[in-house]
Amino acid sequence: MRDTYLSKFYWKIKQRRGAKKAVIALSRKIMVVIYNLLKHKVVFNEQKFEDIRIKQETVKLKRITTEAKKLGYNLIAMEAS
């Protein structure tokens, strides 16, 4: 199941920091998720992570566009083929 948020999180940390630190980081992330599920009495929903990822990408794109404009560049959107 490599298409899940937590799996992608693990592999990203593993590439940068190594397997041991990735396991610890993932364990902490899972504990935070469990804590928040119990605290707010909600059901786990993987789609929420996808929504957050899309929002983060939108903010990142906006920041890059703003920086490019400050440097005098004009970005043109291209359609994905």
Cβ-based neighbours of 2, under 8 Å, separated by 6 or more:
8, 11
pLDDT at position 39 is 97
DSSP code string of 2-14: TTSHHHHHHHHHH
CA distance 13 to 15: 5
Query: Is pLDDT of 81 > 70?
Result: no
pLDDT at position 79 is 81
Where exactly are the structural domains of the chain?
A: 1-43, 44-74
Query: Is pLDDT of 67 > 90?
Result: yes
pLDDT in tens, 20-56: 999 999 999 999 999 999 999 999 998 988 898 899 9
